[in-house]
Amino acid sequence: MTVFVLFGATGDLAARMVLPAFWTLANEGLLPKNWTLVGNGRGDVSHENFRARVRESLSEFSEIPPNKGPWREFAKRLRFAGGGFTGDSPGSLLDVIADARRDAGRNAQLVHYLAIPPVAFPEVTKALGAHGLAKGSRVVYEKPFGTSPSGFRTLNRQVHAVLDESQVYRIDHFLGKEATQQLHAMRFANEALAAIWSREHVESVQIDVPETLGVANRAVFYDETGATLDMLVTHLFQVAAEVAMEPPASLGAADLQAARETVIRRFRPIDPAEAVLGQFAGYRKLKGVDPRSRTDTYVAAKLWIDTPRWRGVPFLLRTGKRMAAGEQRVSLVLRTPAKPFPKLPPQANVLSFSLAGDGEVDLALLAKKPGIAEDLEPASVALPLAQLPEADPLPPYARLIHDVLEGDRALFTRPDGLSAAWKTVKPLLDAPPRPISYEPGSWGPAKARKLAAPHKWLLGQ
Contact present, 394 and 402 (Cβ < 8 Å) = yes
- Is 160 annotated in a binding site? The answer is no
The DSSP code sequence of 109-126 is EEEEEE-S-GGGHHHHHH
- Is 360 annotated in a binding site? The answer is no
DSSP-assigned letter for residue 47: H
Active-site option among 112, 184, 235, 402: 235
Question: What CA–CA distance (Å, rounded) separates 410 from 403?
Answer: 8
- Is 173 annotated in a binding site? The answer is yes
Question: What CA–CA distance (Å, rounded) separates 295 from 222?
Answer: 8
| 235 noted as active-site residue | yes
Question: What CA–CA distance (Å, rounded) separates 328 from 424?
Answer: 22
- Is 230 annotated in a binding site? The answer is yes
**CB-facing half-sphere around the CA of 75: CA atoms within 13 A:** 19
- Give me the helix-helix angle, 415-430 and 237-244, nearest 10°: 120
Query: Of 96, 121, 100, 167, which Cα lies nearest the Cα of 7?
Result: 121
Contact present, 225 and 164 (Cβ < 8 Å) = no
Sign of CA dihedral 79, 80, 85, 91: negative
Question: What CA–CA distance (Å, rounded) separates 300 from 456?
Answer: 13
Question: What CA–CA distance (Å, rounded) separates 358 from 350?
Answer: 20
DSSP-assigned letter for residue 310: T
- Is 33 annotated in a binding site? The answer is no
Question: What CA–CA distance (Å, rounded) separates 402 from 397?
Answer: 8
What SS3 state is found at 373?
coil
All residues at 6 or more sequence positions from 275 whose CB lies less than 8 Å from its CB, including other chains: 299, 300, 301, 302, 428, 433
DSSP-assigned letter for residue 16: I
- Is 321 annotated in a binding site? The answer is yes
Question: What CA–CA distance (Å, rounded) separates 184 from 199?
Answer: 17
Question: What CA–CA distance (Å, rounded) separates 409 from 415?
Answer: 13
Please report, for residues 139, 237, 391, 416, the alpha-carbon distance to residue 266 in angstroms, rounded to integers and kept in the order given: 29, 12, 35, 12
Give the residue ranges of the annotated binding site for substrate. Answer: 173, 177, 211, 230, 321
List active site positions: 235
- The annotated binding site is made up of 42, 143, 173, 177, 211, 230, 321
Binding site, annotated residues for NADP(+): 42, 143
